[in-house]
Amino acid sequence: MLQLKKTLLGGIAPVLLSIALAGPVIASDAHHAHGKDHDFGRFTKDNLLLTPKDYREWIFVGAPVTPNDMNDGKAAFPEFHNVYIDPTSWNHWKKTGEFRDGTVIVKELVGVGTKEAASGHGYFPGEYNGIAAMVKDSKRYADRPGNWAFFGFESYEAKHGAIQADDACAACHKENAAHDMVFTQYYPVLRAAKPGKK
């Protein structure tokens, strides 16, 4: 979902696009405060996604990791990816097996902290490195593959994300994702909840 580059300190940082000041903030068109289901994406007037809040209270669907030492020391994403989907889209997925307009999926980057624990050898989460997100919206992102836009965030404190170039994230998702630009093949939580798959 997000291009990354090494920093001088050996960490990772999102490669962000240059963006102008975004202007006033507006809520998603269908956002409302009451009721069981509502939209969780909030945007600037230029359709940039505001940094999602409380996403750790959403539905957790998985945490893939592609460590450096299993990828010749050159993994594109050498950290855990804690992936969450907003509750409204989760409910829609369980009913239809599709990602609705308004779906927000957040990917939280977590470094590999240690390879040893009381339980044995493995890969264990360390510190948070940042977040990325993808949003499906046929009105806001009609010209993007599958109507999905991919966002990188400079920090947790950033006001909003920057849309990633289609050849950075969308191209890989379009080529390799199992269902509608989403890597459902790596998320058994989504597969188990899909209608007819229980």
Phi, psi of 119 (to 5 degrees): -80, -15
For the chain, the domain total comes to 1
Q: Which residues constitute the domain of residue 51?
A: 4-16+40-123+132-193
Each residue's pLDDT tens digit, 20-70: 333 443 344 334 333 356 889 999 999 999 999 899 999 999 999 999 999
d(CA 148, CA 158): 21
Phi, psi of 26 (to 5 degrees): -130, 150
Cα dist. 28→15, 22, 56, 117, 139 in Å?
A: 26, 15, 20, 44, 11
Each residue's pLDDT tens digit, 70-95: 999 999 999 999 999 999 999 999 99
Is 12 contained in some domain? yes
CATH of the domain at 108: 3.50.70.20
d(CA 64, CA 55): 18
Indicate the pTM of the whole model.
0.81
Each residue's pLDDT tens digit, 91-111: 999 999 999 999 999 999 999
